[in-house]
């Protein structure tokens, strides 16, 4: 790997950057707690708009609670390597499902998606459910509420969605590398209807958001939860913070994910 292939903010010495070949393309990921036993639940994170940096505090909080965690760099804005997939929620989700099938054998898995990453995580979960059931899904701050599926309406909500967030959650190099790809991710998310797709989900699901997240009003959270009528269990939770509370409230997110990991472990024991 050449030095210029990975540029951006330092994620810390506890984070291992890994590269996995899938169908001739390389998926970059950020791994923490990788020395845990194979039976340890693995949390696979799909970040919003493909921006990984802000998820690291939650990853650390998960490892401190005894879980393993890997953040997938999909569609690939975290390095100068060729992107392993096109910048859309469904392409990212299908690639995530392939990564889990290849790398998480023997682990109970929690698929944790945030924002548009939640939409991608739902795609991954639906694909995985055809072959395994030893996993659960956590949808955090999942976009987009039906009334926000027009750009002008989304723009009106945006200033209020990040009211508790901070600028230091952003890696400017990821944003620069993403550029038009981030716009494409946003557009693919706006054209999605996760409340329809979640009806086919056959595994435990948790839906959550920050209490001040204007992208996820309580009515949208409730609609997602009530639409998951094929899931064996559905959990809802309002946590602290606004949209990017994986960065600002990692302990609260981690506490909720631990419960989802117990769901996955119970399913693996069946």
The answer to whether 99 and 57 have CB atoms below 8 angstroms apart is no
Q: Which of the listed CATH numbers 1.10.10.60, 3.40.50.920, 3.40.50.1220, 3.40.50.1820 matches domain 3-269?
A: 3.40.50.1820
CA distance 48 to 54: 9
Predicted local confidence at residue 8, as pLDDT: 67
100: closest CA among 124, 126, 130? 124
Distance of CA 190 to the CA centre of its chain: 17
pLDDT above 90: percentage of residues in the chain: 86
* 93 contact partners, CB below 8 Å, separation of at least 6: 46, 119, 120, 121, 122, 123, 124, 127
The string of pLDDT tens digits covering residues 186-233 is 999 999 999 999 999 999 999 999 999 999 999 999 999 999 999 999
The string of pLDDT tens digits covering residues 23-51 is 899 999 999 987 777 789 999 999 999 99
Stretch 178-187: mean pLDDT, rounded?
96
Q: How far is CA 156 from CA 149, 192, 244, in A?
A: 12, 19, 18
* 129 contact partners, CB below 8 Å, separation of at least 6: 201, 202, 203
Stretch 241-269: mean pLDDT, rounded?
94
107 or 243, which is more confident: 243
pLDDT tops 50 at residue 3: no
Q: Which residue's structure tokens are 């009003």?
A: 217
Predicted local confidence at residue 99, as pLDDT: 97
* 176 contact partners, CB below 8 Å, separation of at least 6: none
Predicted TM-score (pTM) above 0.85: yes
Q: Where are the beta strands (DSSP E) in 115-258?
A: 135-140, 205-210, 234-239
- List alpha helices for 142-209, DSSP H: 151-161, 172-178, 180-190, 194-197
Q: Is 151 exposed, middle or buried (0-12, 13-18, 19+ CB in 10 A)?
A: exposed
- Domain borders along the chain are 3-269
The answer to whether 89 and 189 have CB atoms below 8 angstroms apart is yes
SS3 259: helix
204: closest CA among 141, 128, 143, 144? 128
Strand pairing class (68-72; 25-32): antiparallel
CA distance 152 to 157: 9
Strand pairing class (42-46; 68-72): parallel
Predicted local confidence at residue 35, as pLDDT: 76
Predicted local confidence at residue 6, as pLDDT: 52
The string of pLDDT tens digits covering residues 120-144 is 999 999 999 999 999 999 999 999 9
Q: What is the mean pLDDT of the chain?
A: 93
The string of pLDDT tens digits covering residues 151-160 is 999 999 999 9
């Amino acid at each position: 790997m050449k030095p210029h292939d990975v540029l951006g903010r330092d994620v810390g010495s506890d984070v291992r950057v890994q590269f996995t070949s899938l169908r001739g393309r390389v998926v970059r990921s950020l791994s923490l707690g990788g020395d845990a036993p194979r039976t340890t639940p693995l949390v696979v994170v799909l970040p919003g708009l493909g921006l990984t940096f802000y998820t690291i505090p939650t990853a650390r909080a998960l490892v401190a609670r005894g879980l393993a965690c890997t953040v997938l760099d999909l569609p690939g804005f975290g390095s100068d390597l060729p992107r392993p997939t096109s910048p859309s929620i469904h392409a990212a989700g299908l690639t995530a499902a392939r990564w889990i099938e290849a790398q998480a054998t023997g682990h109970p898995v929690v698929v944790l998606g945030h924002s548009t990453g939640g939409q991608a995580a739902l795609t991954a979960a639906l694909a995985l459910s055809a072959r395994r059931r030893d996993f659960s899904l956590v949808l955090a701050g999942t976009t987009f509420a039906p009334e926000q599926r027009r750009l002008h309406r989304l723009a009106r909500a945006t200033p209020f969605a990040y009211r508790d967030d901070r600028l230091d959650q952003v890696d400017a190099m990821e944003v620069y590398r993403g550029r038009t790809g981030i716009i494409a991710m946003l557009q693919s998310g706006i054209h999605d209807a996760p409340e329809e797709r979640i009806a086919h989900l056959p595994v435990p699901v948790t839906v959550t958001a920050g209490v001040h997240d204007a992208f996820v009003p309580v009515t949208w959270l409730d609609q997602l939860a009530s639409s998951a009528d094929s899931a064996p269990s559905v959990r809802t939770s309002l946590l602290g913070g606004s949209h990017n509370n994986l960065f600002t409230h990692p302990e609260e997110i981690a506490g909720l994910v631990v419960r989802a990991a117990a769901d996955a472990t119970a399913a693996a024991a069946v």
